[in-house]
Amino acid sequence: MENAEIGLTYELSPSERKEVRDRYPEVSFPDPTLEPVWFGRRDHRRIPEKRAIVDQAFEGNYPMVFGICSDQYKLVHYEDIVAMVEHTASNITGFGEIKVCPHTYADGGRMKITLKFPDMKSEIKKMDVIVPKIDVFTSYDLSTKLTGKFGAFQLKCTNGMGVWKTFKKFAKRHLQNLRLNELEENINQGLAIFGDQINTWKSWTEKRITKDFYEEIWEALPFSDAERSKIETLPEIGSERKLLEVLPANTLDLWMLNSVLTQFATHEVKSELRRIELETSIAKAMESISIKI
């Protein structure tokens, strides 16, 4: 790898990539290569300036093709991103232990690396404690450039929740150099204002939802009628309360609604892709709703 302090590309050697894979034996790392692209049934012709991103480690009858890219595309290995996040985490001080948890999904086409901060506990209300998390995303299937978002875990149920506008988002295309100092700067900026987000969530515990506004809320949420029915009868982990039980008593607050929604997305939705999409969609909807109450 090269020196990030002077802004050079962060790139591992093959042996260093193996070391990363060995540190995370439970993670399935693809082995991507850039291959030429051909077309035609009889007269095969190569498509100029195009490459296929192919997983050489895929075990199947046909190779796994993640996508078609230009010949200017820079193939950034997952192992390089993991090592970059590890290095960044090691330089962040003042926030206690930081756990780095990589995970591949979409048949290896995408990766999420979650940074967890177990020592940064904050109580939103009695017996409801959260810790911040940061998700870093990258992909081989061209769906996601290097990007990240901030959020939190509820410890009582390991719900994952996102933050919509409060924290600075960071994103970088693979066509550009990846710089460690930029990633570290963005993470530090987000953590520095996490206290403001805590205060926002605490204020949600005081925001009561009326029966009339309850219906308006569902119009803004990204769930089908069938999913709504399941959510409304889902016992909240810890309190065992249900939305339809507390609504008539005028004791449903915005934080409880957010907790039940994220609980459903985290534990009841099977698709990893949809869980990630829902986390962002719920956060966006809830922030908009909070302004109206």
Say if 226 falls within a structural domain: yes
Instruction: Determine the Cα angle at 210 with ends 165 and 233, to 5°.
Output: 85
**Residues 71 and 169 placed together within one structural domain of the fold:** yes
CB 16 within 8 A of CB 83: yes
Q: What pLDDT does residue 195 have?
A: 86
Contact 217, 209 (CB under 8 A): yes
Q: Find, among 27, 117, 150, the residue nearest to 78 by Cα.
A: 27
pLDDT tens, residue by residue, 111-159: 999 999 999 999 999 889 999 998 989 999 999 888 888 888 898 887 7
Residues 179 and 222 in one domain: no
How far apart are alpha carbons 247 and 257 in whole angstroms? Answer: 10
Closest alpha carbon to 159 in 265, 277, 289: 265
Q: How confident is the model at residue 63 (pLDDT cuts 50, 70, 90)?
A: confident
Q: Is 199 inside a domain boundary?
A: no
**179: confidence class by pLDDT, cuts 50, 70, 90:** low
Same domain assignment for residues 189 and 214: no
- Judge contact between 74 and 175, C-beta under 8 A: yes
pLDDT of res. 109:
97
In a domain, 198, yes or no: no
End-to-end CA distance of the chain: 51
Q: Does pLDDT of 165 surpass 90?
A: no
Q: What is the pLDDT of residues 212-269, one digit of tens each?
A: 999 999 999 999 999 999 999 999 998 999 999 999 999 999 999 999 999 999 999 9
Structure tokens at 30: 């693809």
Can you tell me whether residue 160 is helix, strand or coil? strand
Q: Give the pLDDT of residue 174.
A: 45
Read off the pLDDT band of 191 (50, 70, 90).
confident
Would 153 be classed as within a structural domain? yes
- Same domain for 124 and 229, yes or no, is no
Q: Is 269 contained in some domain?
A: yes
- Least confident segment among 5-14, 80-89, 111-120, 223-232: 5-14
Q: Mean pLDDT, to the nearest integer, of 86-110?
A: 93
Indicate if 36 and 140 belong to the same structural domain. yes
Residues 7 and 127 in one domain: yes
**200 inside domain:** no
Written as six digits, the tokens of 104 are 């591949």
Same domain for 8 and 61, yes or no, is yes
**Are 140 and 237 members of one domain?**
no
Tell if the pTM clears 0.75, that is, is over it: yes
Q: Which of 143, 169, 193 is the last residue of a domain?
A: 193
* Segments of 56-127 assigned E as strands: 64-70, 99-105, 110-116, 122-125
CB-based contacts of 169, cutoff 8 Å, min separation 6: 147, 148, 149
One domain for residues 146 and 185: yes
For 225, the domain range is 205-292
Do 19 and 122 share a domain, yes or no? yes
Residues 159/189, Cβ–Cβ less than 8 Å:
no
pLDDT at 158: 79
Average pLDDT over residues 49-58: 94
Q: In whole angstroms, what is the distance from residue 50 CA to residue 36 CA? A: 7
pLDDT the model gives residue 9: 55
Q: Is the pLDDT of residue 176 over 50?
A: no
pLDDT tens for residues 34-46? 999 998 887 788 9
CA–CA dist 210, 255 (Å, integer) = 14
Q: Measuring CA to CA, how many Å separate 182 from each of 7, 10, 15, 178, 229?
A: 9, 12, 26, 8, 44
**pLDDT for 206:** 96
Residue 43 lies in a domain: yes
Dig out the tokens for 155 from the structure.
């410890």
230 and 154, same domain (yes or no): no
CA 189 to chain centre: 18
Closest CA to 17 of 84, 115, 110, 113: 84
Residue 55 or 196, more confident: 55
| The pLDDT value given to residue 130 | 92
In the chain, the percentage of residues whose pLDDT exceeds 70 is 90
What pLDDT is attached to residue 107? Answer: 93
Q: How many domains does the chain have?
A: 2
**Does residue 99 fall inside a structural domain?**
yes
pLDDT at 166: 47
Question: Residues 171-180: what's their mean pLDDT?
Answer: 50
| Listed residues 140, 166, 193: the one ending a domain | 193
Q: Do 133 and 27 share a structural domain?
A: yes
Last residue of a domain, one of 166, 193, 220: 193
